[in-house]
Amino acid sequence: PHGNGQNPDSLLGSMLRLDVDGEALVPADNPFVGRPGHRPEIWAYGLRNPWRYSFAPDGRLVVADVGQNTTEEVTIVGRGENHGWAAREGDHCFPPGTDCPPRPELIDPIYTYPRSEGQSITGGYVYTGDEVDALHGHYVFGDFVTGRLWAFELPPAGQTVQPDRIYALGRFNLLPSAFGRDGDGRLYVVDYGTGRLLRIAPGA
């Protein structure tokens, strides 16, 4: 709130990196340690409302960020990055309809969808199981409001997901508030509306 996504002296709008098992809570190699006007706990900033994150098998941090007015996004978050909120919502200027100067330092999401397709993204995981062959290696996520689930393969670094590489898994009678992954790489969905834990499995 109040534009704090672009304020590195605030913890709001940020992903934090802490060492809860070490002697020092803040790791010495965090990007803003010792930098005036920046909170040392911050790993990356410029995020609005990260709603679930996970690490891909290649180690990349995948974050789903809920938008304000127009756009939901999936983004890869790296060390010291600025992801644009509240100067941008997704890959668009914010507020909508305004012009914003180019800022090469801002990191674009790898995938966005408009409010016509969903209103509140819920981040998931890369499917690494062997039960659903078609999903292997795909990042699976959903929308809390519409009950839609999608999947795509994470693109190479610096690239975005192409529209023809998005796979709609369906629209279901559930409110997907979280995903989980077990030791065999199988994925589960939490339905907020009923309290059910559902496993993603091959169709009957």
Residue 155 falls inside a structural domain: yes
Confidence of residue 32 (pLDDT cuts 50, 70, 90): very high
Predicted local distance difference test score (pLDDT) of residue 97: 86
Predicted local distance difference test score (pLDDT) of residue 131: 95
Please answer whether residues 186 and 199 qualify as being in contact, where contact means their C-beta atoms are separated by less than 8 angstroms.
yes
pLDDT in tens, 66-89: 999 999 999 999 999 999 999 999
Residue 21 falls inside a structural domain: no
- How many domains is the chain built from? 1
% of the chain surpassing 70 pLDDT = 100
Residue 128 falls inside a structural domain: yes
Residue 102 falls inside a structural domain: no
Confidence of residue 11 (pLDDT cuts 50, 70, 90): very high
Residue 160 falls inside a structural domain: yes
Confidence of residue 2 (pLDDT cuts 50, 70, 90): confident
Is pLDDT of 177 > 70? Answer: yes
Q: Which of 149, 140, 139, 92 is nearest to 118 (CA)?
A: 149
Give Cβ neighbours of residue 136 (< 8 Å, ≥ 6 apart): 127, 128, 129, 130
Cα–Cα distances in Å, from 187 out to 29, 145, 169?
33, 20, 13
Predicted local distance difference test score (pLDDT) of residue 128: 98
% of the chain surpassing 90 pLDDT = 93
For 72, the domain range is 52-81+108-199
Q: Which of 71, 18, 83, 72 is nearest to 46 (CA)?
A: 83
Residue 156 falls inside a structural domain: yes
Output the pTM of the full model: 0.95
Predicted local distance difference test score (pLDDT) of residue 1: 75
Predicted local distance difference test score (pLDDT) of residue 20: 95
For residue 172, the domain's CATH number is 2.120.10.30
Predicted local distance difference test score (pLDDT) of residue 3: 81
Confidence of residue 7 (pLDDT cuts 50, 70, 90): very high
The average pLDDT across 62-67 equals 98
pLDDT in tens, 189-203: 999 999 999 999 998
Residue 38 falls inside a structural domain: no
Residue 34 falls inside a structural domain: no
Amino acid, res. 58: D
Predicted local distance difference test score (pLDDT) of residue 204: 46
